Amino acid sequence: MIMLLGWQISWVLPAFSL
């Protein structure tokens, strides 16, 4: 579960930054 959240945050944060 933590792994899924980890990769999700890794692309979710950069996406919001754009």
Residue with tokens 């944060």: 13
Which tops the pLDDT comparison, 15 or 10? 10
Please name the helix (run of DSSP H) or strand (run of DSSP E) that holds residue 5, with its range, or none: helix 2-17
**How confident is the prediction for the chain on average, in pLDDT?**
79
Rounded CA-CA distance 18/3 in Å is: 24
This prediction has a pTM of: 0.10
pLDDT of residue 6: 81
| For residues 3-18, average pLDDT | 80
**Given CA atoms 12, 14, 17, 18 in this order, what sign does their dihedral have?**
negative
Residue with tokens 């930054």: 17
pLDDT of residue 5: 80
| For residues 1-11, average pLDDT | 81
Provide, rounded to the nearest whole percent, the portion of the chain with pLDDT above 70: 83
Tokens, residue 7: 């990769």
| Vertex 2 angle, CA 8 and 4, to 5° | 35
